[in-house]
Homo-oligomer: A and B are copies of this chain.
Amino acid sequence: MPPVASVAVDLVVFTLREGVLHVLLVSRGIPPFEGRPALPGGFVLPAEGLDAAAMRELVEETGLTDLDAHLEQLRTYGDPGRDPRARVVSVAYLALAPGLPQPVAGSDVAEARWTPVERALRDELAFDHGQILTDGLERARAKLEYTSLATAFCPTEFTVSDLRQVYEAVWGRSLDPRNFHRKVTGTPGLLIDTGHTRSDGPGRPATLYRRGPATALNPPLTREA
């Protein structure tokens, strides 16, 4: 008989709030790690696929649907002893969502809250969730370089400036607005001009774009230079 384990999904959900990268954390109500912040997650149901379980947890915790958010598998964590109660193998997912007005609107998990990533990294998270968060952040940072993933942080219509602020928040550095504009508008299929503009305070109104079909950035944007 093959050995068995419980299988869980844990979610690293990132969003931007006022230009700062936030991650969704819950507070554990029961031991172990009672009262400590943790990533949202839960067990996979017997007849449920992994992606479906992650999507279900995302909806339960944030109210977002798969139409709004990007969701991808991150990595699986299964060290014996990562959960002191039993052998639990956790499949971690990375989710990116546009800024949400309420922390968690009308959910039964009332203690879910958006936390600045900077602070979450310093906190002692439950289980190995600190490692999972670190891995998720690195994945997000890396994929901004060569994919259109940054648009997942934006609502349906957004400006080039919005998109640039995503990069600046996730990478923690500033980018030249002029070169960035030239780069993203020059990538075929990345942005679709809606014809509308948006005016925020002073300054020339910005063109509003929608996500285009392109998923790859080639050549990539680079973070270190």
Contact = CB atoms under 8 A, between A and B. Distances in A.
Interface of A: 2-8, 43-50, 73, 75-80, 86-89, 91, 218-220, 222, 224
A76 B49 contact: no
A224 B77 CA distance: 34
- Judged by DSSP, the binding face of A is loop
29 contacts: A2-B8, A2-B43, A2-B86, A2-B88, A3-B6, A3-B7, A3-B43, A3-B44, A3-B46, A4-B5, A4-B6, A4-B7, A5-B5, A5-B7, A7-B7, A7-B89, A44-B78, A46-B87, A49-B79, A49-B80, A50-B76, A50-B77, A50-B78, A50-B79, A50-B89, A73-B76, A76-B91, A89-B91, A218-B224
Number of copies: 2
Contacts of A44: 3, 5, 78
Contact of A76 (B47, B76, B79): B76
B78 A75 contact: no
A200 B84 CA distance: 57
B87 A89 contact: no
Contacts of A224: 218
Nearest to A80: B47
Given A2-B43, A218-B222, A219-B222, 4 more contacts: A3-B7, A4-B7, A219-B219, A220-B220
Contacts of A75: 73
A43 B224 CA distance: 41
